[in-house]
Amino acid sequence: MSAGTSLKFVVWTFIVCFLASSVSLTKARCQFKQNWQGRWFQSGIQGLILINNTHIESKGECYEEQGDKYLVYDKSEDCYRCLVLHEKHSSVLQYKETYCETKDSLAEICSRIVGDAALYSMFRKYPEVKPLDCPFKSAPFTFGYNRGTGDCSNPPSRAESCTDDSRLVLKYQACPDVPSSESNVEELICLATWKEGSTKYLIGKISQGNRRSLTSDEDQYRCFIYQKGKEDGKIVYSIAQSGDATCSGLQSPTEGSRTMKLTIVDDQHKRCRFPEWITTHHTWVSLDHHKTFKFAQKNATLKILDDETTRPIRIHQNFAQPQFAFQDLGFESEDQKQNSEMRLVCHGILQQLDNKQVQIVAHVTAGCDSGYVCMMFYKRDSNIMEIQQSNRYYENADEACATFDPSEIAYTTLVAPTLHSKKCPHLGRYSIQLNAFMEKRKRREQPGDLKLGNAEPDCISNEYEGLSVGCSGSHEMEFKSTCPSQSTNSYACHGSWEEDGLTYVITTPIVTTRRSTIHQDNTLRYCFIFQLSNQPQEDVIEGGLGKSAGPPILKMSKVGESCHRYVKPGVGGSWALNFTSNGACDQSTSDNASSILIPAIMLIVLSIAATVFLR
């Protein structure tokens, strides 16, 4: 080997080594924690900071790691800086850093972080942070506050709970003698808590009334130090709030840009219990299944969920794409969910009647709205009840029932999740009221329609000619169609009650499939409203005995949502029919009934036989 080639070899080795090292530079040498990945907000920095497994945006690429110390390489400036990163909570990172310097060891660069170096806080925005229960238990509170210009505790401000325990509504009062005090409503959403020594920290988002969507992260993120204590035997929370979206400048629960002292309110709900005849079913549902009523916490709390409020579609958050990151969808969607949930606490039982009817004052929390309402509960049958609730919230419990008028308030009909068949009211056989039926037939038999009429005798789908209630020993109502081909439309009865001359029946449709297997469709429940009345005297045919005014008339309507009182039987509802009575089941005046019955029995026998043979 000549000196020349040997030199060439050295140069080549050097080039290869250089290339290799530069390749390894682009391939990161260390990684940040998996759960740090996302977009983070930091006060004073435009936009959000992206952290992926190798990079922290604006800081650089992970170069070397030792415990909580990271040496990061900033490619654009070709320099190195040390970051000391602490994860305070899965959504809070705090760090101190050095200037970006020429390459040196991690230990050397990191040693240049001085004790009083600025501490920065980053709050994770994406992936979305799930709020957590606020650490201040048992709202409502009264509180006084200080914004650096004196205590404002008279009149006292109030903090109210929300349905969601991760929220608190702060209703600030103005004090005439304190310059910086003003009356204002703020909502706090608790996002993260941690402890350092004996100091407890909370990160929350503050929003002002309904201007939520207009305020920036800079205005919303706040850091708190809080402490639970006792004063005069009452639980007291001392809270200091930061003046900006950092945790700097907070030292103790009594020093901060704003301090508050929350005291648990004495006049807690007396926490009566909802009567046993109501809580015997822990869950009640509305007929259309949209509302669910659930009793909790020793039967003193009732939770009402209403899924009719349409939930927003969750938009997939691609946190690596800035255009998505700036849409603050997370909290708006949380809000809408909260609006469909109500929490009621029994505050006082006013009057109770025979375990059948009760008037209750309840404290309601719906989203972050709260107040007192008057409620009536009516037991209608063992698995059926109805409730009424005043339309607005009252500040004082005493006002809630003062002007309550049951005759002016709608009923919500509720049933237990499982229903059993029960005897139907108005047993017997009925046929469609003749005058109406014949009028239609006459119309059909007009000359022009004659040919058509012959081709399709008397058959119009969705038209009924007969009804039998509870005949053949079943707890069912069978509506007989005018079309022989169409199967009968049957409903199982689950309980009924009478009110003001009307009968209300809760039913479920019975689905008969071709193989004559019968099952109840429990997802559908209806309220049938009946009115049975004798025919008016005018209808008596002259020369009749004067005793009989013709067979009784049964008017009925079917309603889907609740047993609405405004529905007039035979007129309103999703389905209205008028029948005349043919008498009791056994005194069958119509041969049709028995001719239906026999094939039905035959079919059952045959199907039993078939199943036996098929085995």
Ligand X SMILES: *[C@@H]1O[C@H](CO)[C@@H](O)[C@H](O)[C@H]1NC(C)=O
Residue 312: count other Cβ atoms within 10 Å of its Cβ: 13
CA dist., res. 169 & res. 592, Å (int): 67
CA dist., res. 501 & res. 346, Å (int): 33
User: Is residue 608 a contact point for ligand X (CB under 6 A)?
Assistant: no
Site for ligand X in 56-75 (CB under 6 A): 57
User: Is residue 586 a contact point for ligand X (CB under 6 A)?
Assistant: no
Site for ligand X in 243-302 (CB under 6 A): 276, 279-280, 298-299
Site string for ligand X, 424-463 (x = CB under 6 A): ------------x---------------------------
Contacts with ligand X: how many residues (CB under 6 A)? 18
- Shortest distance in whole angstroms from residue 573 CB to ligand X: 10
CA dist., res. 333 & res. 337, Å (int): 6
- Shortest distance in whole angstroms from residue 555 CB to ligand X: 5
Closer by beta carbon to ligand X, 49 or else 134: 49
Single-letter residue type at 325? A
Single-letter residue type at 575? W
CA dist., res. 426 & res. 329, Å (int): 55
CA dist., res. 336 & res. 333, Å (int): 5
Site for ligand X in 6-35 (CB under 6 A): none
For 403, residues 6+ apart whose C-beta sits below 8 A from its C-beta are: none
- Shortest distance in whole angstroms from residue 384 CB to ligand X: 17
**Please, are residues 120 and 246 in contact by the beta-carbon 8 Å criterion?**
yes
Closer by beta carbon to ligand X, 276 or else 538: 276
Site string for ligand X, 559-578 (x = CB under 6 A): -----------xx----xxx
Residue from 52, 215, 257, 474 in contact with ligand X (CB under 6 A): 52
User: Is residue 37 a contact point for ligand X (CB under 6 A)?
Assistant: no
Site for ligand X in 331-360 (CB under 6 A): none
For residue 384, give both structure tokens.
């059926």
> Which of 236, 275, 282 has the alpha carbon at shortest distance from 259?
236
Single-letter residue type at 206? I
Closer by beta carbon to ligand X, 221 or else 579: 579
For 163, residues 6+ apart whose C-beta sits below 8 A from its C-beta are: 338, 341, 342, 343, 365, 366, 367, 368
**Please, are residues 324 and 349 in contact by the beta-carbon 8 Å criterion?**
no
Closer by beta carbon to ligand X, 16 or else 296: 296
Closer by beta carbon to ligand X, 55 or else 228: 55
- Shortest distance in whole angstroms from residue 61 CB to ligand X: 8
Options 10-18, 53-61, 126-134, 481-489: segment touching ligand X (CB under 6 A): 53-61
- Shortest distance in whole angstroms from residue 97 CB to ligand X: 17
Tell me 500's DSSP state.
Answer: T
> Which of 513, 472, 469 has the alpha carbon at shortest distance from 492?
469
> Which of 476, 475, 458, 459 has the alpha carbon at shortest distance from 467?
476
> Which of 48, 25, 17, 37 has the alpha carbon at shortest distance from 328?
48
Q: How far is CA 208 from the centre of its chain?
A: 23
Options 46-54, 62-70, 468-476, 519-527: segment touching ligand X (CB under 6 A): 46-54
Closer by beta carbon to ligand X, 279 or else 487: 279
Options 30-38, 45-53, 245-253, 416-424: segment touching ligand X (CB under 6 A): 45-53
For residue 342, give both structure tokens.
């109500």
Options 47-55, 345-353, 417-425, 456-464: segment touching ligand X (CB under 6 A): 47-55
Site for ligand X in 541-560 (CB under 6 A): 555
Which chain residues interact with ligand X by CB under 6 A?
50, 52-55, 57, 276, 279-280, 298-299, 436, 555, 570-571, 576-578
